[in-house]
Amino acid sequence: MHVAKDLGTVRIVYDGSPFDVLYDIKVERFVNGEWKFYAGFNSLSDDYAFTAARESAARALKLN
């Protein structure tokens, strides 16, 4: 897993190959002391996966 963007309580991570995993780009929130899945995207099937992840991270920040 590679943390691409750390926003404190929200982060975007890249994990695995888009051929091997459902979501190779994930947005996670730090809740009750652990990172929880918030949203996932597959860069192989979604040309805008990186943009969608950034937009999702911005929405997740508003939940804190």
Q: What is the pLDDT of residues 8-46, one digit of tens each?
A: 999 999 999 999 999 999 999 999 999 999 999 999 999
pLDDT tens per residue, range 47-58 = 999 999 999 999
Q: How many domains is the chain partitioned into structurally?
A: 1
Residues 6+ apart with CB under 8 A from 51: none
- Domain range for 54 is 2-62
pLDDT at position 54 is 97
The tokens for 52 are: 């969608």
Which residues are CB-contacts of 3 (< 8 A; sequence separation ≥ 6)?
A: 11, 12, 13
The pTM score is: 0.91
CB-CB contact of 6 with 31 (8 Å): no
Model pLDDT, residue 10: 98
pLDDT at 64 over 80: no
Q: Which 3 state secondary structure label does DSSP give 54?
A: helix
**pLDDT surpasses 90 at 1:** no
Contact (Cβ atoms closer than 8 angstroms) between residue 20 and residue 45: no
